[in-house]
Amino acid sequence: MSATRRFAARLLGIAARCAGAESQEWAHAMLRELDYIESDWAALFWALGSATAIFRHSVPRGFRAWLGKRAGKWEAMMGESFAKKAVGVILGIVTAAAVAGTAFGIVHLLFRLFPAWDLGPVPWWVAVIVIPEIIFVVAIVALWRKRRYMAEGILLSAIVLITHFILHVANHYH
Amino acid sequence: VKLLLKLTPQTLLVLDAFLLAPKQWRYGYDISRHTGLKSGTLYPILMRMADRKLLETSWETTELGTPPRHMYRLTADGLGFARGRRASSSTITVPRTAFAGVKS
């Protein structure tokens, strides 16, 4: 085997090895044909043309596959992360609303059941605002590391509640 | 999908080569010699045709020790497509000289 033919075979072999999975069959097909070309120079030109064809076939497909894989992974990651975060935050808000609603309900019920009951020095908003806010803070601290998104939901609710209270006081007691 | 196959003069040459013996399996190098196309031009055309199911491929079963060769043949769809395209484009693929139509 001449040096030219050896070089041609080696070049096409490298191209076949570098080709992606989808181009492997074609790359080997071109490599096999090399054995049936009589002239060494024709074999070399065959190898050069074939290597070009392999790369033209393989590179766009490889790039598309890589891009598709990356996009799929990113989409899955984003989708999972967003859903997880949304569920956590909603759960936190619902929990906080339940706590605040329960506190407000208990105070309201006590006033209804015992109209003469006097809270004495403790104003009503301590029960409705301060106690739930303390519960929120404790819950936020407890959940922050393990259930961050739920804690964020509770934090959001706590901020809304305290803002509402401040606005309420500002409007009624200025 | 089949319509997306770009009908270049080189593609028509390949279709012609297959139409000479539609049922016969052909080798890449033989098609190259017949059409005069280099491997860098021929194989992308074959790949595109195979992608569009116009061409079927097969590995030749050989005796022990002989490396198998890749063979190509038009599918039924490919045959219909080739005949249809060949008929419709026969008037525009007549070889022309570089100065055709120029009066001296």
HEC string for A92-153:
HHHHHHHHHHHHHHHHHHHHHHCCCCCCCCCCHHHHHHHHHHHHHHHHHHHHCCCCHHHHHH
Instruction: Report the residue from B43, B57, B69 with minimal CB separation from A32.
Output: B69
Residues of B with CB under 8 A from a CB of A: 27-29, 32, 38-44, 46-47, 57, 67-70
d(CA A32, CA A34): 5
What is the per-residue pLDDT for A174?
58
Minimal C-alpha gap between A54 and chain B (Å): 8
- Beta strand B70-74 with B26-27: parallel, antiparallel or unpaired? antiparallel
B12 or B61: which carries more pLDDT confidence? B12
Q: Which residues of A touch B68 (CB under 8 A)?
A: 32
Q: What is the DSSP letter of A115?
A: T
Query: Do A49 and B41 lie within an 8 Å CB cutoff?
Result: yes
Minimal C-alpha gap between A22 and chain B (Å): 11
Q: Which residues of A touch B37 (CB under 8 A)?
A: none
Q: Which residues of A touch B32 (CB under 8 A)?
A: 46
> Number of Cβ pairs closer than 8 Å across A and B?
56
Could you tell me if A123 lies within 8 Å of chain B, comparing CB atoms? no
Minimal C-alpha gap between A57 and chain B (Å): 7
Q: What is the mean pLDDT of chain A?
A: 84
Query: Do B69 and A37 lie within an 8 Å CB cutoff?
Result: no
Could you tell me if A48 lies within 8 Å of chain B, comparing CB atoms? yes
Q: Does B6 score more than 80 pLDDT?
A: no
Encode chain A (174 residues) as per-residue pLDDT tens digits. Answer: 788 889 999 999 998 888 888 888 999 999 999 988 989 999 999 999 999 999 888 888 888 778 788 877 777 777 767 777 888 888 888 888 888 888 878 877 877 787 776 655 566 777 778 888 888 999 899 888 888 888 999 999 999 888 888 888 788 765
d(CA A34, CA A155): 71
Tens digits of per-residue pLDDT, A106-133?
A: 877 877 787 776 655 566 777 778 888 8
